[in-house]
Amino acid sequence: MNEVKHIIAVASGKGGVGKSTTAVNLALALKARGAEVGLLDADIYGPSQQLMLGVADDVRPEQQGGQFLLPVKAQGLKTMSMGYLVTDKTPMVWRGPMAGGALAQMLEQTLWGPLDYLIIDMPPGTGDVQLTLSQKARVAGAVIVTTPQDIALLDAQKGVEMFRKVDIPILGIVENMAMHVCSNCGHAEHIFGEEGGQRMAAEYGVPLLGSLPLQRSIREQTDAGNPTVVAEPDSAVAGLYLAMADKIAASLANRYDSAVKQFPEIKISDD
């Protein structure tokens, strides 16, 4: 873990808002910008990154020294997921502390190597896994994914408040499924409401990193194991993910620079 520069949690207050899709495309966007990136699927009960990255069901991580795991390489990312350790027919019937322990093991016992960013796809909610992460890792910041729908925003606000209580900065809000454009007539409609992510970002004084459309191709590409950033790198949607990656990278670089300036100046003389 000492070789990981920045850990970024991608979280949501509730499921079904496109958090995992955002996490994998954000990781790939940072990779496309030239960074070394890892992706940890921390959704212990419902891991999905194995499918989204096109990793075969029978792939298992190699072990080293009987204690450590080597990350599975997929789409240029170093990845780890509970999906690699169990079959898709094995339900994780665990209490919260056991799920938190599983996250700690995957986080600390994976030989990540040098990484610029480790993206953690968090489970929905504000439970044991989130608390374990805040205790076990120096998290650079969290990205909150929501839809414009009022009920999704309400749960997303709980996620923001939870990260603030454990002193993890909020890097920004991602508004998913913001608009649907009819493929036949071109009519644009805000199915889940309008500008909900923008209002939430303004309320908490954090950036709105991007507003993503409700688009069929995004779902089809991730289901096929070929997310949008690699499937259509020149598309408008891929451009939105790349812009999000740029904003996050700039934010973390600025924080790093300001932290460095706080160190005292060291002078060496013969006296």
Please state the residue numbers annotated as binding site for ATP.
13-20
Q: How far is the C-alpha of 187 from the C-alpha of 81, rounded, in Å?
A: 39
53 in Cβ contact with 230 (< 8 Å): no
- Within 10 A of 14 (CB to CB), how many other CB atoms are there? 19
Q: How far is the C-alpha of 177 from the C-alpha of 213, rounded, in Å?
A: 5
Residue type, 44: I
- Tokens 């812009």 belong to which residue? 243
User: Which residues contribute to the annotated binding site?
Assistant: 13-20
Q: Which residues of 120-135 are buried (b: 16+ CB within 10 A; e: fewer)?
A: bbbbbbbebbbbbbbe
Q: How far is the C-alpha of 55 from the C-alpha of 102, rounded, in Å?
A: 21
Identify the CA nearest to 25 among candidates 266, 197, 225.
Answer: 225
φ and ψ at 258, to 5 degrees?
-65, -35
Q: How far is CA 135 from CA 88, 99, 129, 161, in A?
A: 29, 14, 10, 16
